[in-house]
Structure 1
């Protein structure tokens, strides 16, 4: 296959991954605001989409980490990157279908590492960088966000316990709009950069850009637009899990969870840590649930999420390894991987149409759960 055509295919595939990242991670920024009624679903995703696009232009440190830190760009080819992307997309689609908020970021890293390792050898993967920039933040970031949200929620309820409930609720819903906006901005700053880094890595391996280059403006713009479009379509299945499944969210909790998560993500983006916004957002929500009451988290749901987190890197890595191995065989391999990837995407989409989760479903179920919670408290 012509090298320039392969680069075009990889760029398009990277933007397709960015699109899935957007609708997969919509819930990270907006689930709590939708759950408390601070924002209507369509308004929430529209606001999030715009701010994801803006956030893509704020920093390129995470993009540099991916394009020049995770794997050795001198030992891989665009075909290997293509295989890694297919691994990430497949995992994203499967976890979206079952409503599990797994990490798009770790799916991308797993796919890229698996494809590189099998095709170019273990020495082509910078495992020290993987540990420092990916694994350590994956453990630390959600814990930090959770502790901050727990303390913030506890203090919030203590400080407002003598305030009339309706007044406090209204005030925190206004605050949630601001915190949701900050979270969306943070998501664009961190997650859009991962696709920028992948495209930049592809251009470096193809000789279009010199080693160590940052993402060109057209790469930043296209990645920002792709994640914004995906965000606007909305990942209602995962919004349902984060907005209803983990804990019953009240306005003070939502404000604390979003603010703590956004703060951690923005700080990490500045330092070039390619962390998972899904992990951080989930940590913030769980922390806020514990901050309101000791049994405020549904641990069975949290356990399912934790299992998905543990399996994301190796599962995407296995798919990426197989796809990278096939794609590295030449034109027929690239075509076969593309066809299989499209087949999986179509299958997941068809299955999702059988039991669709729409914005009105999320709102109605969350409202019903909130009413049940009020009755339980009154009793």
Structure 2
């Protein structure tokens, strides 16, 4: 009796300790974020421009830091989610790799010149006062951050680029009117809601289908893997070399087209030459099982996740840093910023550190959503999603189509899941057709054999993709631009009431 009572008491103490640890962690996360924002405020205060507009730069830096935290919490999950879901990386390892690569991409390859009006969606009139322009940028920064924060809490991966574009759009309309907006650009953004996920899904599914037919559906999977895995690793090396040369390294090097293609081919050849002996050594004595063959995709998947994070840091740091750079330019000159302004290193550092810290503190939830809660992942499926992200961006850029990296990654996850589901249910139908007789329920005794078979397949049909996530994520995508625009427009009007013109 005493032992039983003691065991119960120990279990209660254990649960209390676990609850206390979880509560402490929940309290520590916003506290650390607050410390970061405090440091940003102090940093901006010391380095702020002198004069009556200097206070705007301080508040702008605080809001940009808040936006960077939310970009890290939401956007980076798309690169690391499949790798974590496929068990190629632990959550801690994924966070560490992403933090290092995001920071390196932002600081080393972040744009030295950025569009201060966020993708050219508005053109401020020549006579617009510097204070009005600054309020537009501040309202856009803050409301984009609020919307991304809300989406993260709800577990919905959204496009941070679309959030900042919508916020700039709404604040500009409130400040000047609808004539200031480049509406064709907005049309392209709306088109990307369909283009991005569909392209990501099709390319990822096509890659997975090739792997299945070339390797997994063969009688000797190990021999097939020795033939095709080196090619797939070389393909990934070539694609990512092209991706980084054209999208991720523009700040530090802009090679010619001929140089780009030569380096891409060299990366492909070098990877293939190194992968052949590596795969042969790893596959020596390997069992002819799917799980063992899938393990060959783990190293290239980890490299791909890191490279995607590097490219994301190089490109998307401008979502937080661009409007802040516009505010800094307007504060310094006392006039509306030009369409292109230099991006100071201190602003890049704020964006890079904010993205990395936001990922570490708040990113795990979205990583699990993308990597685990939509469909079951393994290293092969995650490899297909990662390669699809790079191929889709390159293909869309060549075709002049606007795409979102967030939408591509999520579309790729759905693509591999739906292909698995289709193949699984096709096999079910084939096995059911080969079996006789078809098991019937009491209500199905009057059915023809064909109808009975159809009922059986429908009854046993497997769902390998959670549809509810598809609808909630799609709704968040569609609402992002108008919601952030509405919030920013209202905030701009509120700032006018408080600060005045």
Q: Shorter-chain-normalised TM-score: which range?
A: 0.7 to 0.9
Distance verdict in 2 for CA 1:234–1:42, change over 3 Å = farther
* 1:251 correspondence with 2:302: no
How do 1:358-377 and structure 2 match up within 5 A? none
Residue 87 of structure 1 is matched in structure 2 by 143
* 1:293 correspondence with 2:418: no
Return the alpha-carbon distance in structure 2 between the equivalents of residues 109 and 29 of structure 1. Answer: 22
Structure 1 counterpart of 2:115, from 64, 83, 93: 64
Return the alpha-carbon distance in structure 1 between the equivalents of residues 179 and 324 of structure 2. Answer: 22
Secondary structure of 1:101 counterpart: coil
Kept after mapping to 1: 8 A contact 2:317/2:352? yes
Does 236-245 or 142-151 show the bigger shift? 236-245
Residue 319 of structure 1 is matched in structure 2 by 487
How do 1:1-379 and structure 2 match up within 5 A? 2-56=52-106, 57-58=108-109, 60=111, 63-64=114-115, 66-67=117-118, 69-74=120-125, 75=128, 76-132=132-188, 134-161=189-216, 162=218, 163=221, 164=288, 165-206=290-331, 208=333, 210-265=338-393, 275-294=403-422, 296-331=464-499
Kept after mapping to 2: 8 A contact 1:15/1:222? yes
- CA RMSD for the aligned pairs? 2.7
Give the Å deviation of 1:285: 0.9
Long gaps (5+) in structure 2: 1-50, 222-287, 423-462
Return the alpha-carbon distance in structure 2 between the equivalents of residues 117 and 326 of structure 1. Answer: 14
Does 189-198 or 30-39 show the bigger shift? 189-198
Secondary structure of 1:72 counterpart: coil
Return the alpha-carbon distance in structure 1 between the equivalents of residues 409 and 206 of structure 2. Answer: 16
Long gaps (5+) in structure 1: 334-379
TM-score computed with the length of structure 1 as normaliser: 0.79
Does 268-277 or 234-243 show the bigger shift? 268-277
Does 202-211 or 253-262 show the bigger shift? 202-211
Kept after mapping to 2: 8 A contact 1:32/1:243? yes
Distance verdict in 2 for CA 1:103–1:21, change over 3 Å = same
Return the alpha-carbon distance in structure 1 between the equivalents of residues 372 and 99 of structure 2. Answer: 22
Give the Å deviation of 1:13: 0.6
Return the alpha-carbon distance in structure 1 between the equivalents of residues 402 and 55 of structure 2. Answer: 29
Kept after mapping to 1: 8 A contact 2:170/2:486? yes
Residue 233 of structure 2 is matched in structure 1 by none
Secondary structure of 1:63 counterpart: strand
Name the larger-Rg structure.
Answer: 2
Runs of 4+ residues over 6 Å off in structure 1 = 266-274
Give the Å deviation of 1:238: 1.6
Kept after mapping to 2: 8 A contact 1:100/1:305? yes
Give the Å deviation of 1:305: 0.7
Kept after mapping to 2: 8 A contact 1:26/1:45? no
Give the Å deviation of 1:292: 2.8
Residue 341 of structure 1 is matched in structure 2 by none
Kept after mapping to 2: 8 A contact 1:91/1:312? yes
Return the alpha-carbon distance in structure 2 between the equivalents of residues 189 and 265 of structure 1. Answer: 14
Deviations 1:105-130 (A, max 9, x none): 22211112111111221122222233
Return the alpha-carbon distance in structure 2 between the equivalents of residues 212 and 154 of structure 1. Answer: 44
Kept after mapping to 1: 8 A contact 2:73/2:359? yes
